[in-house]
Amino acid sequence: MNAPTSSAVLAPTVKLLIGGKFVESKTTQWRDVVNPATQEVLARVPFATPEEIDAAVASAQEAFKTWKKTAIGARARIFLKYQQLIRENMAELAAILTAEQGKTLPDAEGDVFRGLEVVEHAASIGNLQLGELANNVAGGVDTYTLMQPLGVCAGITPFNFPAMIPLWMFPMAIATGNTFVLKPSEQDPMVTMRLVELALEAGIPPGVLNVIHGGEAAVNAICDHKDIKAISFVGSTKVGTHVYNRASLNGKRVQCMMGAKNHAIVMPDANKEQTLNALAGAAFGAAGQRCMALSVVVLVGEAQKWVPELVAKAKTLKVSAGVEKGTDVGPVVSCAAKDRVQSLIERGIADGATLELDGRNPEVAGYEKGNFVGPTVFSGVKPGMSIYDQEIFGPVLCLSAAADIDEAIEFINSNPNGNGTAIFTQSGAAARKFQEEIDVGQVGINVPIPVPVPLFSFSGSRASKLGDLGPYGKQVVLFYTQTKTVTARWFDDSTISHGVNTTISLK
């Protein structure tokens, strides 16, 4: 948390959303929203007071009484309208996102689009929230299930996908009949708030969607609040573990998508040009600030000779502000993030890794104050080195070597994280062996660390995920609903039985 600077005093304030109204916070604690390419203060975000957080939850609790009874078709039509509004405002949303987060404009549009896919999926809720029926499980007895909403749910989102991740959360929660309290990242909440405005325009009723802002205190308030039934979290492992443990102790459902150290295996038979392009894009896109970024490449056998060509490919990428045409790598989100990435690069050198390409302190004309780190490549990276053991969250690619596919798979499975992985090969046998033996949630075959489309569920594993159910797809419908099983028998005069049955059977 930081107090307003003189420049921040003139910046607009980000509002809270409580009961269908955008309101000014009464807090005394604010944080600046800063353009990472220029250091311009774009807005001030409030750290909501405990009373404001309680008011948001109370609003959601009250709205749930009627929203849970809203016809499923009416809910679906809201999201049909919402996806249309997002498409119509795509350019504006991308521009806001780029200004506050730093992504290139095409990547910002991709951020919005991947969230839009989940909104489209939410519009299909009528097919997703079906129960089951078994007729005549006993004489004249039917059993069926109802998938009913939980109540007030909450979402805590990270800075790196300020459009996509909120759209992973509140559309599916609301479509299934719940109400929602959203806490966006305090670093870049502006595009989230614009998406919320469009959601209200689409027809989400007052109180069904609420937004609070803040830091650790707001997170703890969400974990502790007695009226919040379920929490979805995406962010760092440290915070995610805290959220999972604290909220679970308070009896809440929790899903936490957390940190990662994503690996790719490159087999000697892989298509070289296609593979090099994929590796560079996955490692350095979004300045490496993706939980699905490619952090480590394991070069198998003769593929170890590709290092110079991979470095040459990385050198072709343009580092500049996201708004500049042709930019491949924008700034990292903050000065602190830049300092941390550069510190880890220094530690990589000290630990004995070979610095093949140094991206520190690139010259970016016109944006000298920006938080820029260029593509950086290390070879000879091993477990125990800081650049391998820690999630760098910057444009730094670590290269390791393996003699064969078995050694490469063992290397990846020994890492505690299990978010995403990939293999590049032209061998079907190698690809099948990889997908069978690798202990990682998302697997790509000649695709760099894919995020599944909403027809499927995000499926990180091990230290990258806490909670059994994913944040979208079929799994999230189970997460946001409770199953009620009904066993029913109806009588008419001809079927009424006589006498008392003291057994547990139905006859």
Active site residues: 291
> Using CA atoms, how far apart are residues 187 and 179, in angstroms rounded to an integer?
25
Q: Rounded to a whole number, what is the largest CA-CA distance in the chain?
A: 91
DSSP codes of every residue in 447-492: SSSPPPPTTS----EETTEESSS-SSSHHHHHHTEEEEEEEEE---
> Using CA atoms, how far apart are residues 121 and 316, in angstroms rounded to an integer?
38
> Using CA atoms, how far apart are residues 260 and 267, in angstroms rounded to an integer?
22
**Six-digit token pair at 119?**
């909104």
> Using CA atoms, how far apart are residues 172 and 176, in angstroms rounded to an integer?
6
3-state secondary structure of 405: helix
Phi-psi category of 216—alpha, beta or left, where left has phi over 0 and alpha has psi -120 to 50?
alpha
> Using CA atoms, how far apart are residues 78 and 85, in angstroms rounded to an integer?
11
Judge contact between 154 and 222, C-beta under 8 A: yes
How many other CB atoms sit within 10 Å of the CB of residue 350? 10
3-state secondary structure of 399: strand
